[in-house]
Amino acid sequence: MTLIFGWNHFRIKSFDPAELGLAQHADPNVTIEVRQRYFHFFWIPFFSLGKKWAIHRNNELYEMPLALTSTIRQRNDLKVKTPWYTYAGVLLVALCSIGFAVQEKFESRAWKERERQLFAAEYAQNLELFRKPSPDDYYLLTAVNGYAQKYAKVTRLDKQHIELSYITNPAAHGDMDDPPGIAGLFVQYANDLQTITISRGDSSRLFCSDYDQRHSFAGLTLQDKQGLSYRVKKIIRLDGPILTAGAVRSFVGEEFALPIRNVGYDTEIFKVEPVKGAVEWLQEGFPVTLENGNTILVRGRGRGREPFTVKITCTNVSGKEITYLVESDGRQPQLTRL
């Protein structure tokens, strides 16, 4: 692409020579012009290169004699200001920069608000799982003042205490989208486990409820070489499937599809029950097997872009029923295990 830049000039003001005392009689074919010189980029004026006086005769421009130019410029009554649009390019760049800065600020504020909402939702969900613990619970621990992570698993329960076993090997890492992979780490690193016992009522040591205090939270100190303090970022209950819902997809007519993904153990979905909303859920193809890492489309007919609620029932590893509640505001569904 060729970049077009250079300099040019345009007329600011015209004078009759007699008006300036340069002639006794007006000549309609002759005018004296003040012209603005400017630098342009893609033909947009960016800044001034000064002014010039010129003689305009019969549609042609001629240079003013130097003596006349010097005389005219000394007259205060002939001073002409530089038009603001001479700096149109600079103003355009400034406005675009301000616009980008404002947009970035709003996006940053919106991102922080989403982070706050996600933090609050995770806190509520984690606290609920902690108060009703299960041997199938896995804990993602994150360093309070850094980015180090550790995985822990509930290995013993009684009425008063929870025993957590965490992997001390720094090479251990898993994918949060693959909870079975996290469970596999505890088999792989079975000889690199350390245990810690906490009170079932002592949630304040594990969970930070204030988003702004998450990096200064006292946390729980683990017995490792680094001596870092950790808080619980997420509790994963891996006793069966872990379902997530994607954005509603539109199809021909009134039909739409709700993507359901499984990041837990393989399951069989056998029931879809409407709870709220003008939606008819299509039951063809059920029961259906949904393996780990796969997605199915649950089809419906009706107003899928409006708020709706639906229950999805499936089975865990032992064949026990698990029910998920899908609540949609018409855009992004939220899925909760009941």
Long-range contacts of 77-85 (CB under 8 A, 24+ apart): 78/15, 78/20, 78/34, 80/12, 80/13, 80/34, 80/51, 82/36, 82/48, 82/51, 83/12, 83/36, 85/45
Structure tokens at 144: 């309070």
Q: Running DSSP on this structure, what letter comes out for residue 183?
A: H
* CA-atom Rg of the chain in angstroms: 36
Domain ranges of the chain: 5-82, 115-237, 243-337
What's the pLDDT at 189?
A: 92
Phi (first) and psi of residue 82, to 5 degrees: -75, 125
Give the domain 243-337 fold. Immunoglobulin-like (2.60.40)
Rounded Cα distance between 137 and 133, Å, is 7
> Parallel, antiparallel, or unpaired: how do β-strands 30-41 and 44-57 relate?
antiparallel
Chain-centre distance of CA 48, in angstroms? 41
What's the pLDDT at 5?
A: 79
- The one-digit pLDDT tens for each residue of the chain (338 residues) are 445 778 888 888 888 877 777 765 666 778 888 888 888 888 888 888 888 888 888 888 888 877 677 777 777 777 788 888 888 888 888 899 998 888 888 888 888 888 888 888 888 888 888 888 889 999 998 888 877 888 999 999 988 889 999 998 888 887 777 888 899 999 999 999 988 888 888 878 888 888 888 888 888 887 666 778 888 889 999 988 888 888 887 766 678 888 989 998 899 888 888 888 888 888 777 888 889 889 988 888 887 778 888 899 988 777 788 899 988 877 778 888 88
Structure tokens at 272: 């879809």
Rounded Cα distance between 284 and 257, Å, is 13
What's the pLDDT at 1?
A: 42
